[in-house]
Amino acid sequence: MITRRKALFQLAGGIGGVALSDMLLREGLLAADGPSKPGENLPLGMISREPHFQPRAKAMISMFMHGGPSHVDLFDPKPDLQKNHGKEYTGNVTYSFVGRANKKLMASPFKFSRHGKSGTELSELLPHTAMIADDICVIRSMHTGHNGHEVSIRFFHGGIAGVLGRPTMGSWLTYALGNESKNLPSYMVLSDEGGLPVDGTNNWSSGFMPAYYQGTVLRPREPRILNLEPPKEVQGVSQQRNLELLKQLNKNHSMLHPREAELESRISSYELAASMQDSAREAFDISSEPKHIRQLYGIDDAETRSYGTRCLIARRLVERGVRFVQLFLSGQPWDNHNTITKSLSNICRKTDQPAAALVMDLKQRGLLDTTLVHFGGEIGRLPVVEGDFGEKAGRDHNGQGFSIWLAGGGIKPGITYGETDEVGHRAAVNVVNPNDFQATIMHLFGLDHSKMVYFHNGQAQVLTAGKPARVVKEILC
């Protein structure tokens, strides 16, 4: 039986794990799945598994914001920065763009105000996020210690700054907990039709884990999932006719091989595949969503259509048992080195409403309690100006201090946590690094990050890479 199971978990690669759990369940292998011995990996595959302790979150939607959203212009108001506009910063700054380096502080050109009962201060660029102020927890003390994009992105995804080839968060959650969904992969990536984010497909790599733990990309164009749909022309009646013919051919063949169970099960695998194809397609199709939902996400507005659609699909996926959905934008629209007043406003207009809509929608459906929502980038931006003041002014990279927000899935709502220094340069109080972030997320899923081990090349590996990492208990409810 072991070899049979071994066979089954090799299946998924082609379409990223679709249907594996279902097959395993149907074959009654779930029960055969015992605890792993020390020094051994969990039985590989997509079998749904119990966490270490009672979880708070069942699913997570991560809106990853490549480029470094400017926290001092969005989430972290700094009166001292406003006061000292144009003055020389006395602290030590590491620049990425030395050629445009400038030590003069730049006040935020945007107004902050308090919102909701919690009174969380947010920038005028985030009018929709302001409406969910009482649902989110803003962490203002994020810190990677590295200014580079890729370095910090990899820190967030894989646990070690700058290092590639490690499994990403979704891979770890899938490895640890298996797949709940009957027809969809457990780890899905919603990419931007404009192209790949910075660091490309590394963003959803399974690293040293088998390839079926890799994030399955819901492509912006058809086929939405590899092999999940035939070419457009063949969809519908033609494909049905094709499958009918194939079934007939296979049945004729089977008649010559009575009682050959494998041939029979292959025939039924096509029926299962066809039904999976239909239900997956249904999951990605938002045309059945009512008008008020489309409005909520801004689907009919040119500016918010793209990101709104992905946020809405993310909700539909979570409803259908997908464990981890990560949304990406093309390139790195938050990397506002120039004309920050304009470029930051632009990207906020595209994302603010859909992101807030997602939280509101999950909440009204009673899903927010068990769905962790994350909004944030890999770094923030410097309080000093990049280049010269004026229309073209921007901000350079800052991995020393920045903000993200979390909501739902066991996160305390309506709070802010941690602080940066007076001007927003460095995380100063209750510093949270990506390993702490990862440990906290694992905790919400009922997992001890230090005990969820994958053995690779003879070494025990954990998401947090064996580094000190703390569960940020203060933000849990």
Partner 1 sequence: MLPTFKILIFALVLGTETPQRLTFEEDIRPIFKAYCFDCHGATEKPKGSLDLRLKKFAQKGGKSGISLKENAPEESHLLQRIKSGEMPPSEKKVPAEKIALITKWIKDGAPTLRVEPDNLPPGIGITEEERNYWFFKPLLEPKVPDLTLDQKKVAPLDSFILARLQQKSLRFNPEADKRTLIRRAYLDLTGLPPTFDQVERFEKNTAPNAFEALVDELLASPAYGERWARHWLDVAGYADTEGDSPNDSLRPHLYKYRDYVIRSLNSDKPFNQFIIEQLAGDELAPKPWDELSLEQRELLAATGFLRCGPDITAGGGAIAEAEQTFTESIKIISSGLLGLSVGCAQCHDHRYDPISQVDYFRFRAIFEPAFNPSKWRKPAERTAALMTKPDREKSAQIEKVAQELASKLQAETANTIKVIFEKELQKIPADLHEPVRKAFETPETKRTPEQKKLFEKYPKINVRAGIIDQYDPKAMAELKKAQATIDAKRAEKPKEDFYAIMSEVPSKIPATKLFYRGDYRQPLQEIIPGDLSITTIHEQKPWDCPTDNKGESSGRRLAFAQHLTSGKHAQFNRTMANRIWVYHFGQGIVETPGEFGKLGTLPSQPELLDWLALQLPKNNWSLKAFHKIIMTSATYRQSSVHRPEQDAVDITNQLYGRFPLRRLEAESIRDSILKVNNRLDETLFGSAISLKEDIAGVMHYPDNTPRKTIYMQVRRHKPSAFLLTFDGPSLSPNCDKRTPSAGTPQALALMNSEFIRNESNHLATLILKNQTNDTTTLIRKAWQIVYQRLPNSNEITLASNFLNESKATYSATKSKDPSQMAWTDLCQQLLASNEFIYLE
- Out of 83, 86, 201, 451, point to the residue binding partner 1 (CB under 8 A): 201
Name the region of 449 (left: φ>0; alpha: ψ -120 to 50; beta: rest).
Answer: alpha
Instruction: Evaluate the omega torsion of the peptide bond into residue 223 and state whether it is cis, within 30 degrees of 0.
Output: yes
**Amino acid at the residue 469:** A
Angle at Cα 238 formed by Cα 237 and Cα 241, nearest 5°? 85
Between 237-255 and 261-284, two packed helices, what is the crossing angle to 10 degrees?
170
Nearest approach in angstroms of CB 329 to partner 1 is 15
- Going by the DSSP 8-state scheme, the letter that residue 15 receives in this structure is G
Interface residues for partner 1 in 37-66 (CB under 8 A)? Answer: 37-38
**Amino acid at the residue 360:** M
Number of H helices, E strands in the chain: 13, 16
> d(Cα 176, Cα 471) in Å, to the nearest integer?
18
Check residue 269 for interaction with partner 1 (CB under 8 A): yes
Per this entry, what is the length of the chain?
477
Q: CB nearer to partner 1: give 245 or 477.
A: 245
Interface residues for partner 1 in 3-42 (CB under 8 A)? Answer: 3-4, 6-8, 10-15, 18-20, 23, 37-38
Binding segment for partner 1 (CB under 8 A), chosen from 47-55, 88-96, 413-421, 432-440, is 88-96
**Cβ-contact 84, 474 below 8 angstroms:** no
215 to 234: interface string for partner 1, x by CB under 8 A:
xxx-x---x--xxxxxx-xx
Check residue 207 for interaction with partner 1 (CB under 8 A): yes
Q: CB nearer to partner 1: give 200 or 468.
A: 200
Q: CB nearer to partner 1: give 32 or 243.
A: 243
> d(Cα 90, Cα 160) in Å, to the nearest integer?
31
Nearest approach in angstroms of CB 381 to partner 1 is 16
**Cβ-contact 323, 180 below 8 angstroms:** yes
The two most distant CA atoms of the chain are separated, in Å, by 88
Nearest approach in angstroms of CB 241 to partner 1 is 6
Interface residues for partner 1 in 282-301 (CB under 8 A)? Answer: none
Q: CB nearer to partner 1: give 224 or 294.
A: 224
Q: How far is CA 143 from CA 158, 377, 403, 428, in A?
A: 16, 11, 9, 10
Q: CB nearer to partner 1: give 205 or 433.
A: 205
Q: CB nearer to partner 1: give 218 or 358.
A: 218
Helix ranges restricted to H, 178-256: 237-255
Nearest approach in angstroms of CB 303 to partner 1 is 24
- Going by the DSSP 8-state scheme, the letter that residue 399 receives in this structure is -
Check residue 119 for interaction with partner 1 (CB under 8 A): no
Check residue 342 for interaction with partner 1 (CB under 8 A): no
Check residue 465 for interaction with partner 1 (CB under 8 A): no
- Out of 179, 205, 351, 435, point to the residue binding partner 1 (CB under 8 A): 205
Can you tell me whether residue 144 is helix, strand or coil? coil
- Out of 1, 31, 256, 302, point to the residue binding partner 1 (CB under 8 A): 256
> d(Cα 167, Cα 157) in Å, to the nearest integer?
8
Nearest approach in angstroms of CB 37 to partner 1 is 6
Check residue 196 for interaction with partner 1 (CB under 8 A): yes
Q: CB nearer to partner 1: give 161 or 431.
A: 161
- Out of 48, 82, 250, 295, point to the residue binding partner 1 (CB under 8 A): 250
**Torsion angle, alpha carbons of 143, 147, 153, 156, to 10:** -20
Check residue 100 for interaction with partner 1 (CB under 8 A): yes
- Out of 1, 28, 31, 237, point to the residue binding partner 1 (CB under 8 A): 237
Helix ranges restricted to H, 224-301: 237-255, 261-284, 291-297
> d(Cα 358, Cα 293) in Å, to the nearest integer?
10
Nearest approach in angstroms of CB 232 to partner 1 is 10
Check residue 101 for interaction with partner 1 (CB under 8 A): yes
Nearest approach in angstroms of CB 6 to partner 1 is 6
Q: CB nearer to partner 1: give 255 or 302.
A: 255
Q: CB nearer to partner 1: give 82 or 254.
A: 254
Nearest approach in angstroms of CB 164 to partner 1 is 4
Check residue 302 for interaction with partner 1 (CB under 8 A): no
Nearest approach in angstroms of CB 238 to partner 1 is 6
Nearest approach in angstroms of CB 3 to partner 1 is 5
Token pair of 36 as six digits: 């792993």
Helix, strand, coil shares of the chain, percent, nearest 5, are 35, 15, 50
- Out of 87, 114, 257, 365, point to the residue binding partner 1 (CB under 8 A): 257
**Torsion angle, alpha carbons of 268, 274, 279, 280, to 10:** 110
Name the region of 408 (left: φ>0; alpha: ψ -120 to 50; beta: rest).
Answer: left
